[in-house]
């Protein structure tokens, strides 16, 4: 409500009959104070949005440098900076699987100067870790789903598994198929758990300290296969050291068009890594609109699309509403896997 609207409301109060005004004088004064306060807040937000941005913007990446989220953020930041006219600083806080950095952004001022690039663990951490102080659906406002990256289902070429059907058949036999995973709460592990559950398989999952160790044992033939990010395994598929038998996205990947979707044999299966930008809840919409416009413009750049595509990463650049819908679906999907499999992290 603008200032004019407030004074009109106050004028209307003064037209009440005198006995009624005396009876409700206290409530009238409270209402007037509230209306004036709301008007003041509205004017402050409007002025802040019109002036935004007038200082450097920080994008928090609560994960280590070099990952998909970090790479995508560093690609779009310079172009966003050009559009917004202010420097953009990227800060990595890779602690507790992203929990520490995410908690910090949740508590940051909702003024558009502290943003965050979120990854898959944004929605899974509250179900995996004790003491998580944020709710991804309530403490943040989605700006845009930036990119998606399908995972590849790969096996060692020395096995007699050549198709998804072969895997399902042999995976139903106990102690027959062994998959390496980078750790209990990783997207690779959760995807493998989902695969086991939906296909009714009895695959043994072997946890390693990170993706490199999990991949090395697969390359050496110590395990049967794994489901992992395309960026991790694609070079080894292209060199013939691994065999790709399925892709985790609903449609085939442009990077591996001859590889069928896992969903073609296990209907409804989907497990994609993703990165999206969020802001603290209560960030004014006019500010969010400016950030969204700059981000989507950056993602639409042909050079960024080409660089990301070379790593098996697909640009999305969604609306805020579309990203909110994606977060809701991801939360439902992975919280069920975590609860059904009793997965917890300290």
Write the Ramachandran bin of 260: left for phi over 0, alpha for psi from -120 to 50, otherwise beta. Answer: beta
Supply angle C-alpha 180, 182, 183, rounded to 5. 105
Tell how far CA 179 is from the center of its chain: 25
Residue pLDDT tens, the chain, 346 long: 444 444 444 444 455 555 554 554 566 666 666 666 565 555 555 666 789 999 999 999 998 898 889 999 999 999 999 999 999 999 999 877 789 999 999 999 999 999 999 999 999 999 998 878 899 999 999 999 999 999 999 999 999 999 999 999 999 998 899 999 998 889 999 999 999 999 999 999 999 988 899 999 999 999 999 999 988 899 999 999 999 999 999 999 988 999 999 999 999 999 999 999 999 999 999 999 999 999 999 999 999 999 998 888 999 999 999 999 999 999 999 999 999 999 988 6
- Could you tell me which residues are beta bridge partners of residue 225? 155, 179
User: Considering the entire predicted model, what is its pTM?
Assistant: 0.82
Q: Which residues contact 78 (CB under 8 A, 6 or more apart)?
A: 88
Residue with token string 């306060």 = 37
Phi, psi of 284 (to 5 degrees): -55, 140
């Amino acid at each position: 409500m603008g200032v004019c609207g407030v004074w009109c409301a106050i004028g209307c109060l003064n037209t009440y009959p005198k006995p009624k005004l005396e009876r409700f004088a206290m409530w009238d004064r409270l209402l007037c104070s509230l209306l004036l306060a709301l008007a003041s807040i509205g004017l402050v937000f409007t002025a802040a949005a019109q002036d935004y941005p007038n200082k450097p913007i920080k994008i928090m990446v609560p994960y280590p440098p070099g990952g998909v989220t970090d790479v995508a953020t560093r690609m779009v930041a310079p172009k966003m900076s050009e559009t917004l006219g202010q420097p953009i600083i990227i800060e990595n806080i890779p602690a507790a699987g992203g929990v520490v950095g995410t908690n910090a952004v949740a508590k940051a001022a909702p003024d558009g100067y502290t943003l965050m690039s979120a990854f898959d663990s944004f929605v899974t951490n509250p179900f995996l870790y004790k003491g998580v102080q944020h709710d991804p659906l309530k403490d943040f406002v989605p700006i845009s789903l930036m990119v998606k990256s399908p995972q590849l289902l790969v096996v060692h070429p020395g096995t007699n598994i050549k198709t998804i059907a072969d895997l399902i058949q042999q995976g139903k036999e106990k102690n027959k198929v062994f998959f390496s995973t980078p750790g209990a709460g990783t997207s690779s592990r959760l995807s493998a758990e989902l695969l086991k559950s939906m296909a009714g398989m009895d695959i043994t999952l072997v946890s390693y300290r990170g993706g490199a160790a999990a991949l090395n044992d697969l390359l050496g033939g110590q395990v049967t296969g794994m489901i992992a990010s395309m960026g991790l395994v694609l070079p080894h598929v292209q060199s013939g050291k691994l065999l790709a038998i399925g892709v985790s996205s609903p449609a085939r990947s442009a990077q591996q068009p001859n590889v069928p979707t896992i969903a073609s044999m296990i209907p409804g299966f989907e497990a994609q890594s993703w990165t999206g930008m969020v802001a603290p809840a209560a960030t004014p919409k006019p500010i969010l609109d400016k950030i969204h416009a700059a981000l989507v413009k950056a993602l639409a750049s042909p050079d960024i699309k080409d660089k990301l595509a070379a790593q098996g990463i697909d640009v999305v650049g969604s609306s805020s509403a579309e990203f909110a819908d994606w977060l809701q679906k991801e939360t439902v999907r992975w919280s069920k896997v975590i609860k059904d499999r009793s997965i917890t992290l300290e």
